[in-house]
Amino acid sequence: MDVLDDTQPIESGDVISMRIVEDRREPLQLRVGATGEVNAPHIGLVKASGRTCKQLAHEMKRRLELNYYNTATVVVAIDLKRQDDPNARIRTSGYDIDFFTVYGQVLRQGKYELPADEDITISQAILRAGGFAQFAAPQKVKLVRKTPKGNKTIVIDLDQIMRHGNLEYDVYIRNNDVIIVDEKKVNF
């Protein structure tokens, strides 16, 4: 990790590759979001913008060693710098960023950036939030969407989508959508 680049700062819109050596997997390519964060495996959102590859790798190592590894070796490199093209779809002003929020029985509740260059479905949104927690009820996931007539709640059976492959029920996420994963009822 000491040989990683410690001169060039990472910026929003850059594409970086990240590898946890102990996982023995190929490097992941991650795009630094408009908020300056990347969604790293095992740890979730990490502030990347303004840090060098070496600084980011050491921060990821520290967070991985808190809960997942005795020793973690993280390799980070910038694969593609953001193009300063005025027509690029990188949004930088705070009010121009689209988000969705996930609450309830998922591993990482929170607010997630809705990428400008790809469509996200509700099943993909759940996966970005770390997947279902142990006591989640995937048959009754609520999607709350703001409409001109007020909030509209849609109940979606994600079990049909994720386990049985009925992709026609996989709804696309829009800006400001809220996903609520209730817990299942357990009798002891």
Give the Å distances, CA to CA, from 188 to 20, 125, 141, 185: 40, 31, 23, 10
Token couple for 173: 């996420």
Burial of residue 155 (CB within 10 Å: 0-12, 13-18, 19+) is: exposed
Q: Indicate whether this model's pTM tops 0.85.
A: no
Domain 97-183 has CATH 1.20.1050.10: no
pLDDT one-digit tens code per residue, 138-147: 999 999 998 8
Burial of residue 173 (CB within 10 Å: 0-12, 13-18, 19+) is: buried
- Looking at the chain, the domain(s) classified CATH 3.30.1950.10 span 15-80
Q: How would residue 155 be classed by pLDDT, with cut points 50, 70 and 90?
A: very high
Using an 8 Å Cβ cutoff, are 185 and 109 in contact?
Answer: no
- Looking at the chain, the domain(s) classified CATH 3.10.560.10 span 97-183
pLDDT of residue 96: 55
CATH code given to domain 15-80? 3.30.1950.10
Using an 8 Å Cβ cutoff, are 170 and 123 in contact?
Answer: yes
pLDDT of residue 139: 93
pLDDT one-digit tens code per residue, 81-139: 876 444 444 444 444 578 899 999 999 888 888 877 778 999 999 998 999 999 999 99
Residue 173 confidence (pLDDT) above 70: yes
pLDDT one-digit tens code per residue, 5-52: 888 899 988 889 999 998 888 888 888 887 888 888 888 888 999 999
